[in-house]
Structure 1
Amino acid sequence: MGAPTAWASGGTGAGVRVAVLDTGVDATHPDFDKRVVASKSFVPGESVTDRHGHGTHTASTVAGTGAASGGQERGVAPEADLLVGKVLSDQGYGQDSWIIAGMEWAARSEHAKVISMSLGDSSRHGQNDPVSQTLNKLSAETGALFVVAAGNDGPRASTLGAPGTADAALTVGAVDQNNQLAGFSSAGPRQLDDALKPDITAPGVGVMAARPQYVKDGSEGYYTSHDGTSMATPHVAGAAVLLAQKHPEWTTQDIKNTLMSTSMRTPDYSPYQAGAGRVTVPAAYYAEAFATGSVDAGLVSWSPGTEPQPIPRKITYTNLTDSPLTLDLSVDAGSSPARTFTLGADRVTVPAHGTAQTDLTVDPKGLAPGQYAAQVMASGSSPAGHVTMHTAVGGLRRTREAQPHDPSEGPRRPAHERRGSGHG
């Protein structure tokens, strides 16, 4: 991810409050010495101590110091103020009520700027469940950014687990060290409305991070390796913390858009599989401009004898520099017909410290039912060098409407370790 380049410029997350809602933490681990500023258990009868291992692993990826490894296994934002909410039991499962209470605590009581949630419900694929609804509400009311695992039920379509399905969530899939999408990484679109998700990917295969001393699994040492979108999520949460430290005035949407539009494209995969691309810290941290992260044309219904109308959308570009920025625009339609996505202009000039928009039209006329996606590319030059960014675009044409889903309360589990073993 390139986090050390931000560290070299003082981007360590200092002063930013980040919450990890999971199975708790081993606060005695050297990597958390004087790092946990607040903690609370929402699991009846259990302390915040992590006897499962999942929470310690994810928390150290966000904000561990790497002390037990001489700094080798340092987290992405090693000087952030770490908040730990135990919302999953020592068996790795939790009720909606526990998770919602933890979210309220982190966002309202502890004023976390970023909240990392490596958990999900593989039986819910829309956003009408209580946890997804709470996430959207808290994000709007508090400005907290919820970074949530996509789930480990891929590669089939529409396998995203709630609350990673929520509009306001920054939803994270997993890639390996070669930036190949992990076979377990859940894919979109979201069910019920076929919205474009996930949003971004991050390393989630063979991730080494802290191991709690309380786990009796036969292994030893301060660290252990795991796979899962659970492991990818805290990488993105840490990157969000670095941006929040550098740009304290930024909104949640600014952070999301920057991480997505400056990510490294993974063109072998549709945005419905891998979002905008793989998170890249240097490009986001030193960005001179950013674009809307994704544009969703939504669900286009189909019936015999009718033709759908073009769908208008807009992309916004934000210039962070002291000089006007002229961007050349183009569409990479991938396997979609080129005429499906058209821009209102092939060039836009963004004023210094200002914004500009371009029109995007998605034309579903004549398209067979299916998924259609593209990336809108923008490039230009600034006094500091070349500027590039991209926006993921998607739309779906279907033969019938999605059916309602019962959002009744059920157990949740961490988006954890599906690869090969079937755990999680």
Structure 2
Amino acid sequence: MREGASGAQTLNKVAGLKVASSADFSAAAVTPESLDAAGGIVFEGLGVAVVDAQPDQVGALSAAGESGVMAIEPERIVHAIGETLLPGVAPSRLLPPSPPAGLSRGGVQLEYIRGYRDALVNLYEGLTGGEDAEAAAEAAPSFREDEVTWGLQAIGVPASRFTGKGVRVAVLDTGFDAGHPDFVGRAVSMRSFIQGEEAQDGHGHGTHCIGTALGSDRPNTLPRYGVACRAEIFAGKVLSNAGSGADAGILAGIQWAIANGCAVVSMSLGAPVGPGQTHSRVFETAARRALRAGTVIIAAAGNESERPGSIAPVGHPANCPSIMAVAALDSRFHVASFSCGGLNPQGGQVDIAGPGVAVRSSWPRPLLHRAINGTSMATPHVSGVAALYAEADPEARGRALMSILVQSARRLELPARDVGAGLVQAP
């Protein structure tokens, strides 16, 4: 919707649609039941509406001219990004894990094979002779994970005096395991936007992402894996226990986060886009409104690449110009084989990179911890660092916070297409 337009009135007048408004709900927390039952919902703070419209109603809106409707798009289904399962051990250990649940071709998960392949390639490069291998070994960083994960070391978290205290961070994902022992005593607000499912995480992806962004500095079992260990946690379940969700739930989660004063929204979710495909105008409108409200949205670039042979474009919604798109690096500061690249124009760039291979973090009980791959794992590293900068400078919000993250990144000798400004760095 254009600025100043009354969404509910416009939709009713032009197309005869009777819709609910997010203003009717406490703290703008639209319920999943209302999303399903109403003819539509207007997210007042975002300037966006999601409606169940017939073809003639869509035609009326399209032909309405100056009615206030800027764009009409079909609703998408998005998925948790980054389910390459690895053993819950340090990345230096190369014993193959048991294949995870969810089997595919030949009884083995393809993402599982890819992650194990990358580990073997790194081992081969380190063991084979030749000047190139020796030079790579000398240039590559070396990490031990006795006390702190390699990702936190790489982005400078152990040396930072900031903890994210007083900063609210929303992670919109599959929910959170509220009974995880590493989070006892933490301030956690949970809300489900999935009909028929509680905010409790029945998948694992959300708990893992929350752990990386916001986990404790003193977990029950070392190493430490959380960046902003004193930030306030807002866990929005916008993806089901099967790992998928619709745009309506994502938008509802964004508005809920803004209404609750979250400085950062972390979204390790998305859908692939094709070469030359432009970004969503609906999500770009929502992201701009969020920035003006002091909230920066940080999203995973996507895992559709198969480098070096094939690089896929940054996916939806990370490809919006006003959303930070995060690529993934391994512990040798190589671009992860699956990480998408900035190929499409008009907002399809990578903005920054984070650790995204063999990332150990929290997992729902009884397992408690697990290491997995993905741009999903890189994204909460960046979101946690954003919370540290938000604590360091209470005036740094919205676009100002986004600029600080880019300006402070560690420059890498890699194409900006793949890593943007470089590797995120803690203050």
TM class by shorter chain equals 0.5 to 0.7
Structure 1: which 4+ aligned runs deviate by more than 6 Å?
none
**Which residue of 56, 75, 84 maps to 2:235?**
84
Give the aligned residue type for 1:101. Answer: A
Structure 1 residue 159, shift from structure 2 partner: 1.4
Residue of structure 1 in register with 2:333 after alignment: 179
Q: Which is richer in strand?
A: 1
Q: What is the CA deviation profile of residues 235-294 of structure 1, one whole-angstrom value per residue up to 9, with x for unaligned ones?
A: 000000000001001132222222222222221x2111110111122xxx1xxxxxxxxx
* Alpha-carbon distance in structure 2 between the residues aligned to 1:146 and 1:266: 24
1:104 correspondence with 2:255: yes
* Alpha-carbon distance in structure 2 between the residues aligned to 1:130 and 1:95: 14
**Which residue of 391, 403, 406 maps to 1:245?**
391
3-state SS in 1 of match to 2:395: coil
Q: Does the CA contact (< 8 Å) of 1:127 and 1:163 recur in 2? A: yes
1:54 correspondence with 2:200: no
* Alpha-carbon distance in structure 2 between the residues aligned to 1:28 and 1:66: 17
* Alpha-carbon distance in structure 2 between the residues aligned to 1:90 and 1:196: 29
Q: Does the CA contact (< 8 Å) of 2:320 and 2:348 recur in 1? A: no
Distance change in 2, residues 1:196/1:276 (3 Å): farther
Residue of structure 1 in register with 2:273 after alignment: 123
Higher relative contact order (CA 8 A, sep 6+): 2
Residue of structure 2 in register with 1:323 after alignment: none
Q: Does the CA contact (< 8 Å) of 1:132 and 1:164 recur in 2? A: no
1:225 correspondence with 2:371: yes
Structure 1 residue 29, shift from structure 2 partner: 0.3
Alignment of 1:330-349 (within 5 A): none
Q: How many residues end up aligned between the 2 structures?
A: 268
Q: Which is richer in helix?
A: 2
Structure 1 residue 19, shift from structure 2 partner: 0.5
Structure 1 residue 2, shift from structure 2 partner: 1.1
* Alpha-carbon distance in structure 2 between the residues aligned to 1:64 and 1:262: 23
* Alpha-carbon distance in structure 1 between the residues aligned to 2:208 and 2:157: 18
Give the aligned residue type for 2:261. Answer: H
1:279 correspondence with 2:424: yes
Structure 1 residue 57, shift from structure 2 partner: 0.1
* Alpha-carbon distance in structure 1 between the residues aligned to 2:208 and 2:233: 14
Q: What is the CA deviation profile of residues 122-166 of structure 1, one whole-angstrom value per residue up to 9, with x for unaligned ones?
A: 1365322533432233223x1101111101112445511111011
Distance change in 2, residues 1:265/1:121 (3 Å): same
Structure 1 residue 69, shift from structure 2 partner: 3.4
Structure 1 residue 120, shift from structure 2 partner: 0.8
3-state SS in 2 of match to 1:72: coil
* Alpha-carbon distance in structure 2 between the residues aligned to 1:261 and 1:234: 18
What residue ranges of structure 1 are gaps of 5+ in the alignment? 214-219, 286-424
3-state SS in 2 of match to 1:106: helix
Q: Does the CA contact (< 8 Å) of 2:176 and 2:235 recur in 1? A: yes
Alignment of 1:23-422 (within 5 A): 23-65=174-216, 67-70=218-221, 72-108=223-259, 110-123=260-273, 125-140=277-292, 142-154=293-305, 155=307, 156-157=310-311, 159-191=313-345, 193=346, 195=347, 197-213=349-365, 221-267=367-413, 269-281=414-426, 285=427
* Alpha-carbon distance in structure 2 between the residues aligned to 1:128 and 1:98: 16
